Amino acid sequence: DAGVIQSPRHEVTEMGQEVTLRCKPISGHDYLFWYRQTMMRGLELLIYFNNNVPIDDSGMPEDRFSAKMPNASFSTLKIQPSEPRDSAVYFCAASQGDRSRQFFGPGTRLTVL
């Protein structure tokens, strides 16, 4: 198994542009998590899904952020419009059942100019 796959690995965009980050979880792992990591705030949970259904989106910073999981093998995190303060590394993670460890993808480093 290839593990959690994220794309792109790096994204540089200008303020106001739409950004879409993608994640392919590990097959059979029914929980999917989106995190954001910055120097100032560390690793923060944004949203997580169980069986493609959003369960907790209380960490989503504002309406500019949205996430979808149309099927078990794909999820997106969209920022529209993007702002410089959104610059961070965004991780997708997966787990099998809600009591097991989470496996992290390689992350997308987002820079908003």
Partner 1 sequence: EDKVVQSPLSLVVHEGDTVTLNCSYEVTNFRSLLWYKQEKKAPTFLFMLTSSGIEKKSGRLSSILDKKELFSILNITATQTGDSAIYLCAVGETSGSRLTFGEGTQLTVNP
Task: Using CB under 8 A, pick the residue from 12, 15, 55, 113 that binds partner 1.
Answer: 55
Q: How far is the CB of 31 from partner 1 (least distance, A)?
A: 6
C-alpha 24, offset from chain centre:
10
Q: Residues 71-100: x/- map of binding to partner 1 (CB under 8 A)?
A: --------------------x---x--xx-
DSSP of 43-107: EEEEEEEETTEEEE-TT--STTEEEEEEETTEEEEEESS--GGG-EEEEEEEESSTTSPPEE---
Using the minimum distance from each CB to partner 1, give the nearer residue, 81 or 102. Answer: 102
CA 36, 66, 21, 84 dihedral sign is: negative
Task: Using CB under 8 A, pick the residue from 43, 61, 84, 113 that binds partner 1.
Answer: 43
Residues binding partner 1 (CB under 8 A): 4, 31, 33, 42-45, 48, 50, 55-56, 91, 95, 98-99, 101-107
